[in-house]
Amino acid sequence: MYLLIARDMRGALSCIEEMKSEGIDLTLVTYSILIGGYANIKDTKSAEKFFKEAKWKLTSLNAIIYSNIIYANCQTGNMTRAEDLVREMEEQGIDAPIDLYNTMMDGYTNVLNEEKCLVVFERLKECGFTPSIISYGCLINFYAKIGKMSKAVDVSREMESCGIKHNSKTYSMLINGFIKLDDFSNAFSIFEDMMKSGLKPDAVIYNIIINAFCKMGNMERALRLVDEMQKEKHRPSSRTFRPIIYGFAACGEMRRALDVFDLMRRLGCIPTVETYNVLILGLAHKCQMEKAVGVLDKMILAGISPNEYTYTTIMEGYAAEGDIGKAFEYFTKIKEAGLKLDVFTYESLLKACCKSGRMQSALAVTREMSSQNIPRNVFIYNILIDGWARRGDVWEASDLVQQMKLDSVLPDIHTYTSFINACCKAGDMQKATKVIEEMESAGIKPNVKTFTTLIRGWSRASLPEKALASFKKR
């Protein structure tokens, strides 16, 4: 049992094998614990394997084992299978406990199915159960997750009208929901309600409020909360420090970000891959690639494996410098590590190719994208069009705009501005004028950059009166 709580399923399986070797049959309780353990680590395949074995070996099953296998499927979003299991359970005359209804509601929350989540909530009441704080919490969590905070508050009020008081978890759902929408006023209002109710913030609430202050740019207040958190005997975690490190990195204060990172380690918090990624991102944005790679090296020495986002961030940094060699080096590392290649990875590589003027390399990258069945989005097309525009190749840029439309990817302001730049560099101001007309007819208004590009084009064509007319339209 301890091994399952610790999620050491390999150790648990060793115990099971030992039991079997000694001729000890697994009981219903043992199967239930095993399936619950696999559900906790979201290993539905193994959970289903033992459930199938239990059905074959045991004469009857109970609500607990069904609840655990249903929970396993809800955890991984397999709601069709979960529904089948509920029907199977009912056909065998096994009454569903209230916890099972809550599990199903939580599962529908994971797949964002509001209609079915509400159906289960009503079914719970029809079966004679009184919704608990967990039941209401499932609904609050659902609405907070999809950003419908007015509905989350309505559920909260209904819960209170039934005499059920909030706990830290329901308060945290509401506060976090408002923070996700950058509605800090309502978030802090809920926090004040919580304090008035006599509940003290737990580690989760502290982390949420620290994240709010970081999003607001109030980094000093966030740091003071870390001190307050420790005084209240709550141990900060990597989740506590990550938004603070990101906040300092985002505003370019890398020295402060690194200081917080050191503080985090001194307090015994083990940095995660996400923590390291935040530091690398900040250094890459500051074009401090040597230091970014240094953090990557420390990360690997600490036994933490970089993920695709780590390498893509490094690629992005080198792309900004136009260092195609280094960008390809880290692209290769992603492949060697067996990590997933996605559109963002290719986007970083294309930026490096286009910025360094290596357009043939860029075309090779797009061919590889096609072979990997990764479709081009508007950002990919914009990078390519901008790359050809830098060379003044209006024909390649034009072909890409046409291909974009064939692929049902709508051009945006950046697409048109880059295409206009290509026309201007090629001296084809008639074409540039037509592109302006086309973008306006598509409902996209030229911006300052568009007009600046046009002014330069007309000036290069020795037509100052046209340049002046474009200047007046800005």
DSSP 298-345: HHHHTTPPP-HHHHHHHHHHHHHHT-HHHHHHHHHHHHHTTPPP-HHH
d(CA 373, CA 447): 34
Please state the rounded mean pLDDT for residues 263-278.
91
Percent of the chain at pLDDT above 70?
A: 96
Give domain status of residue 299, yes or no.
no
d(CA 198, CA 204): 17
Give domain status of residue 427, yes or no.
yes
Residue at token pair 């094998």:
17
Using 50, 70 and 90 to split pLDDT, how confident is the model at 186? very high
Dihedral pair phi/psi, residue 235, rounded to 5°: -85, 125
Angle (nearest 5°) at CA 226 between 280 and 217: 60
Give domain status of residue 185, yes or no.
no
d(CA 241, CA 261): 8
> Quick one: DSSP state of residue 224?
H
What is the model's pLDDT at position 65?
Answer: 95
How many residues belong to the chain? Answer: 474
Q: Looking at the predicted structure, is the pLDDT value of residue 1 above 90?
A: no
What is the model's pLDDT at position 4?
Answer: 43
Give domain status of residue 392, yes or no.
yes
What is the model's pLDDT at position 107?
Answer: 95
Give domain status of residue 431, yes or no.
yes
Determine contact, residues 140/175, Cβ cutoff 8 Å: no
Give domain status of residue 3, yes or no.
no
Using 50, 70 and 90 to split pLDDT, how confident is the model at 463? confident
Instruction: Return the number of other C-beta atoms located less than 10 Å from residue 37's C-beta.
Output: 25
Q: Looking at the predicted structure, is the pLDDT value of residue 6 above 90?
A: no
Assign residue 401 the CATH number of its domain: 1.25.40.10
pLDDT averaged over every residue in the chain: 90
Output helix, strand, coil percentages for the chain, rounded to the nearest 5.
Answer: 75, 0, 25
Q: Which domain holds residue 453?
A: 375-474
Domain count within the chain: 1
pTM, rounded to two decimals:
0.73
Token pair of 310, please?
């780590």
Determine contact, residues 436/446, Cβ cutoff 8 Å: yes
